């Protein structure tokens, strides 16, 4: 049985202390440690967290782009979230995370008041087994952050043999949620959008060094739909479109078990051959 704690490790990770106008201080979280520095999904969530805490915030996140300019050193950092343009129902943000005065992350966010309109989910959830019927991935972990997520792979799991045998595609499908479970919000959804292991390892099982350089999340759900998703599983699907010249892309979707498309996300990732 997992021990209950008063604070979820994710809440600890995205906690920020205000230190000035548009400026917060945060700290990398050992619970979300990666090979070098922290898991990028949590860094992206920390950047968005500053927007969400800003007293001048208008509306809810619709689009977020973050660029990873350097590996974060374990320790404190400063986040700047600056509203550069506020319209009647929309707001544009510039984001920066700094360590020792140097930018380690840059980004932009777009927030807006959502209104009810005609709506449609066009990219429908594929027919897959229910989360409860798919075994949880376990075993030893290379990196700490992977233990903060429950992952149940339907297909495209992390290779077990790194034999360089090229696969027909790079697609993965898995049920996922925070471990221990935590009600989804914009910050945790941002981190969940970065949970997929690098597509280059999936297409060609060679353990080459990789690193996300830019990531965009489009939020298709408002706070009400996120509340409805609760602590439920999300179906994540991720696939690359091209690998070339040291960079590949990833396009991904995150649906609730009920088939609600909460977010779509894209990233471009460095790889070394």
Using CB under 8 A as the criterion, which residues of the chain lie in contact with its own copies when the complex forms? 62-63, 65, 67, 69-70, 84-85, 87, 90, 92-94, 96, 102-104, 106-108, 110, 112, 114-123, 166, 169-170, 203-204, 213-214, 216, 218, 220-222, 239-247, 249, 251, 253, 261, 264, 266, 268, 270-273
* Least gap, CB of 115 to its own copies (angstroms): 5
CB of 243 to its own copies, least distance (A): 5
Q: Are 47 and 107 in contact (CB under 8 A)?
A: yes
Which residue number, 228 or 251, has a Cβ lying nearer to its own copies?
Answer: 251
Minimum CB distance to its own copies smaller for 152 or for 203: 203
Contact 199, 248 (CB under 8 A): yes
CB of 107 to its own copies, least distance (A): 7
Kindly tell me which of 149 and 265 has the beta carbon lying closer to its own copies.
Answer: 265
Q: Looking at beta carbons only, is 39 or 93 nearer to its own copies?
A: 93
Q: Identify the CA nearest to 72 among candidates 129, 45, 21, 33.
A: 33
Question: Tokens 């935590």 correspond to what residue?
Answer: 182
Minimum gap (Å) between residue 140 Cβ and its own copies: 28
> Sign of the CA dihedral 23, 179, 262, 222?
negative
Output 13 or 260, the one with its CB closest to its own copies: 260
Other residues' Cβ atoms within 10 Å of the Cβ of residue 84: 9
- Minimum distance of its own copies from residue 39's CB (angstroms): 20
List C-alpha distances in Å: 184 to 72, 187, 234.
25, 8, 10
Distance in angstroms (rounded) separating the CA atoms of residues 166 and 183: 38
269 touches 212 (CB < 8 A): yes
């Amino acid at each position: 049985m997992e021990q209950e704690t008063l604070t979820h490790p994710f809440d600890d990770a995205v906690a920020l202390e205000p230190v000035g106008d548009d400026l917060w201080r945060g700290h990398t979280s050992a619970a979300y440690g990666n090979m070098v520095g922290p898991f990028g999904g949590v860094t992206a969530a920390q950047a968005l967290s500053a927007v969400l805490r800003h007293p001048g915030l208008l509306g809810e996140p619709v689009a977020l782009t973050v660029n990873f300019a350097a590996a974060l050193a374990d320790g404190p950092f400063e986040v700047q979230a600056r509203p550069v343009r506020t319209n009647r129902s929309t707001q544009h943000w510039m984001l920066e995370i700094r360590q020792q005065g140097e930018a380690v992350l840059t980004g932009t966010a777009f927030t807006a008041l959502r209104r009810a309109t005609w709506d449609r989910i066009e990219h429908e959830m594929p027919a897959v087994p229910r989360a409860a019927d798919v075994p949880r991935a376990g075993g030893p972990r290379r990196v700490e952050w992977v233990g903060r997520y429950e992952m149940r792979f339907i297909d495209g799991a992390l290779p077990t043999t790194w034999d360089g045998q090229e696969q027909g595609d790079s697609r993965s499908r898995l049920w996922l949620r925070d471990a221990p479970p935590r009600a989804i919000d914009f910050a945790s959804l941002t981190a969940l959008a970065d949970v997929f292991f690098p597509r280059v390892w999936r297409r060609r099982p060679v353990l080459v060094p990789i690193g996300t350089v830019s990531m965009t999340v489009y939020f298709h759900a408002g706070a009400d739909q996120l509340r409805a998703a609760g602590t439920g599983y999300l179906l994540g699907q991720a696939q690359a479109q091209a690998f070339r010249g040291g960079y590949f892309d990833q396009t991904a979707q995150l649906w609730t078990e009920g088939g609600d498309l909460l977010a779509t996300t894209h990233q471009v990732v460095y790889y070394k051959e």
